[in-house]
Amino acid sequence: MVVLTELFSGSPSSSSTHNHNHNKDYRYDVFLSFRGADTRNRFTDHLYNALVDADINTFLDDEEIETGEPLKPELESAIKSSRASVIVLSKNYAFSTWCLDELQQSSFGEAMAKHRQRMEAETNAEKRCQWGQKMELWKRALTQVADLKGKDAKDRKESELIEEIVTDIHRRLGVPLSNTLPHLIGMDHYITFISSWLTDGTSHTANILTIVGMGGIGKTSLAKYVFHLHSMHFQTSSFIEGINIRCNEQFNGLLDLQRQLYRDISKKNSLPVNDVSMYTFKIKDVLARKMVFIVLDDIDSLEQLDALLGNKGLHPESKVIITTKDASLTERCALFDLRVQPKHTKVILNGLRESESLELLCIHAFKSQKPKEGYKEVSEKLVKYCEGHPLALEVLGKSLRKRDNVDEWQYYIEGLKKEPHSRIKKALQMSIDSLPFENDKELFKHIACFFVGADRDLAETILNACDMNARSGIPNLIDKCLLSIKPNNMLMMHQLVQEMGRDLVREESPHKPWKRSRLWRDEESYKVLKQKKGKRPCSFSSYAGSNIFFFYTHGKGNILGLSLDMRRLNKKKLHELKTDSLRKMDNLMLLQLNYVKLNGSFQNFPEDLRWLCMHGFPLKFIPSNLPMENLVVLNLSYSNIESFGMHQSNPQQLESTKKDLVESCSNDTPLLGSLKILDLSFCKQLLGLGGFFDLPALEKLIVRNCTSLIEVCESVEECIELVYIDLSYCYNLKKLPISLGKLKKVKTLLLDGCNSNESRIKMWDMKSSDISIISETPLSTVMESIPSDLKFFATSMPSSLIILSLAGTNLSDESFPMDFSCLSMLKELRLDNNPIVSMPHFVRSLPRLEKLSMENCERLISIVHPPCTLRVLSIKSYSSSLTDYKNSLRKIIFDPEMSPLNLLGASKLLSPTSFEIDGMIKIQPMAGVEKKTIT
């Protein structure tokens, strides 16, 4: 029998489900009371693990209970500091005085009779009196328990019972478990209303709730809070955050969102398709038959909503929350065209009250709930100015955090009042005005228009080349709460802040976009290019008393950056563009023309370009007359290019890859002398990669998923600045260039998936080979002398490597070299998805290795003596459930002097067969353990 009792009065699930001030003094969510000898190693242990896995903070006493001993002080303290108790009533429960004491704080007739016998046998009158008092309290506790409704474990499947108990605890406790959710100031009534809506099961149709409000008003925070509060009550749940920005700023953004949603609601891996309509078809089928709880955050268009919800209808018990700035958007989606429409509820966020605003401001400005002494008046003035907008309060509060003079606050507030913009924009605009340098303000505009969601290092490289100090400017923007960096090094900007930055550019010329410094809206960019509007600034003069005027063009064009993605425009109204549309944009430095077909000579392109991104570039080669001398980043991903070499005239059909590569290496003129990053990812037609004599400044070479790529030219050794090389999933790459080992600065080399379809290819250790290479021997002769099954890795790796990934390269134990001692600087090695049986021997010779990953290596049996420098060892599997886990790993042996390390994936090693970590732990089936060992 299992009994759940709540230790505080009142029902938290009624009106205060969100108020975690109510339980702030509790250290534990649950106190687990049980008789150790009965259930410790069986039911109670399984229940405890299930509670912990569900993020329920549970107290479990690990010591055996001694009969007759008084309750330990720490147990009594734990009981009082727990929000609820779970009592596991077993046959011998009442024989334990500790259990009865626990029961007092939070068929036993035979047990009570024995306690009475002990009392009557006690000769000390004082102790006998104490026994009598205790027994009276125990009787009372047992009577109370008898009146409680419990869950009988008899004839029940243990796993089902435990799952039911955990779900019941979630439901009955109601408040955020373990205090993991942040306190949302001023959102109590919204949380109560939405929680009631979520738990209302009276409707026989699906329910959709739309949270409407201006940017920064708290829509996402509110939706995320109620999602984490209630998602465990649903069979399936999914939270999709930042939909609009991910759709607009990321390649295949909507498709990625569909993948995430489908994976969440179907519990299956993403589909191997790249078509939005196909994903919509699959998603709507799942939504029609499964009860789900979904949050779609920041929906901005019907296309996004229909792609994620479809038009087939929702399961009658499903709940969907949508956040948007468009109040009419939800009811215009395809679901409301059906005969049976969802029930729609709308919540409008209007901002915070003054008291709530003051609290929020003080948290960010003073890290307390009240103003510092002497700051009350100026704080109230600032609260009044912000008028309850949470983002404005947060940004201004953080901006004033280190201003220790009240007069500074006063001057700051007076400055805000002079701005002519709306209340929110004024607050955020002042954060821009407080930036110390003009450089930072221009940097902010560039990022807001073109680089939100971009890799920080990529953006810094481009912006530094535009005569901006991005290395110091980006930290300044972060300090001013205008920019943030995600854990994956992505630049992120709150949508309201980004819109403000773009508005600053719009104000340069509200009605004539060609006069602005930056163009990012596809419609405007297309129109400017089509009408060839990118003109230089003009001035005029006239003769006195004459009607004759003279116009002069002078200086350079005003447009600094332009972005256009033709896929986002109505194709029926489009016309092909001409290259001479760019002729007069001679100040253009940032150009993104994705899936744009251009007619004309490429010599019309601006010569000052620093960033050229042309996804889906239609030509098979790079035009030789394209000005690229000042380019620092060239991105031709997803293009039709067949060969990269600067001096082919028009290689419509390559006679042989080797011939073209040799020709491409034969000229000493560096046409791309400034290029630092070259990205040719997903160029499916690319056969040859050369021309490295033209790339002396190249730092990053990214050629992912070029599935037709055969060979990389040996001239890569000319790229002495290379630090990053990604050749992942170039399945047909025959070999790596031998000259790769001559590079002195390469830190990262990614070869994932290379060689995966060529199981015959093996790793080759040049030192142990009988093949000798003489400097005078032609390279072609050398390569012909190497057996075909050794050619791919017939090279010594750069000694400067810090990260090396050989994941999914189909390398077996015999394929690895005996010696990789040249990689003395290597810190991270990835060997995932390889058919290795044991850790390769060469790994032990890596003196600085800190992270070793052998995930999904299904044949792996043993890991023996990994380097003592190791800090992380990952042996994880991505199987959807424990029953699907097929890892054959049986033994790990560490050296005695091994430092503590993080062993990832060890939780799934509890397999039916034995497993041993030498000197630490041994796991084997119960059937193989002697009875005397158990007892």
pLDDT tens digit sequence for 887-917: 678 888 888 888 888 888 876 654 545 566 7
pLDDT at 112 exceeding the cut of 90:
no
* Distance, CA of 741 to CA of 804 (rounded, Å): 13
pLDDT at 193: 94
The 10 Å Cβ neighbour count of residue 778 is: 8
Q: Which helix (H) or strand (E) holds 576?
A: none
Tell me the helices (H) and strands (E) count for the chain, helix number first. Answer: 26, 36
175 vs 87, higher pLDDT: 87
How far is CA 742 from each of CA 480, 569, 786, 905, rounded to the nearest angstrom?
44, 47, 20, 37
Q: How confident is the model at residue 930 (pLDDT cuts 50, 70, 90)?
A: low
What are the strands, taking DSSP E only, across 406-525?
484-485, 491-492, 518-519
Greatest mean pLDDT among 359-368, 715-724, 772-781: 715-724
pLDDT at 491: 95
pLDDT tens digit sequence for 84-95: 888 887 766 655
Of 249-253, 257-261, 662-666, 733-737, minimum mean pLDDT range? 662-666
Whether the predicted model's global pTM rises above the 0.75 cut: no
575 vs 850, higher pLDDT: 850
Contact criterion met (CB below 8 Å) for 592 and 567: no
pLDDT at 795: 55
- Give residue for tokens 């960096």: 485
Q: How confident is the model at residue 568 (pLDDT cuts 50, 70, 90)?
A: confident
How much is the average pLDDT of 186-190?
92
Percent of the chain with pLDDT over 90: 27
755 vs 18, higher pLDDT: 755
pLDDT tens digit sequence for 613-657: 999 999 988 888 888 899 999 999 999 999 887 344 344 444 443
pLDDT at 928: 57
pLDDT tens digit sequence for 481-532: 788 888 889 999 877 678 888 889 998 998 899 999 999 999 999 999 998 8
How far is CA 279 from each of CA 1, 179, 261, 270, 282, rounded to the nearest angstrom?
47, 37, 10, 9, 5
pLDDT at 110: 56
Q: Pick from 234, 196, 224: which is nearest to 296 by CA?
A: 224
pLDDT tens digit sequence for 318-341: 999 999 887 778 888 898 888 888
pLDDT at 421: 42
Q: What is the mean pLDDT of the chain?
A: 78
Taking only Cα atoms into account, the Rg of the chain, rounded to an integer number of angstroms, comes to 34
pLDDT at 278: 87
Contact criterion met (CB below 8 Å) for 894 and 852: no
pLDDT at 743 exceeding the cut of 80:
yes
125 vs 693, higher pLDDT: 693
pLDDT at 147: 55
pLDDT at 770 exceeding the cut of 60:
no
pLDDT at 740 exceeding the cut of 70:
yes
pLDDT at 761: 34
pLDDT at 728 exceeding the cut of 90:
yes
* Distance, CA of 482 to CA of 492 (rounded, Å): 9
pLDDT at 172: 66
615 vs 660, higher pLDDT: 615
Using N-to-C axis directions, what is the helix angle for 302-309 and 276-289, rounded to 10°?
Answer: 50
235 vs 674, higher pLDDT: 674
Contact criterion met (CB below 8 Å) for 266 and 286: yes
pLDDT at 405 exceeding the cut of 60:
yes
Amino acid at 547: N
* Distance, CA of 24 to CA of 27 (rounded, Å): 8
pLDDT at 297: 94
pLDDT at 98: 56
Q: How confident is the model at residue 174 (pLDDT cuts 50, 70, 90)?
A: low
pLDDT tens digit sequence for 420-474: 345 567 656 767 876 778 999 999 999 999 999 999 999 999 999 999 999 989 9
How much is the average pLDDT of 569-577?
78
pLDDT at 925 exceeding the cut of 60:
no
The tokens describing 832, both together, are 């995932």
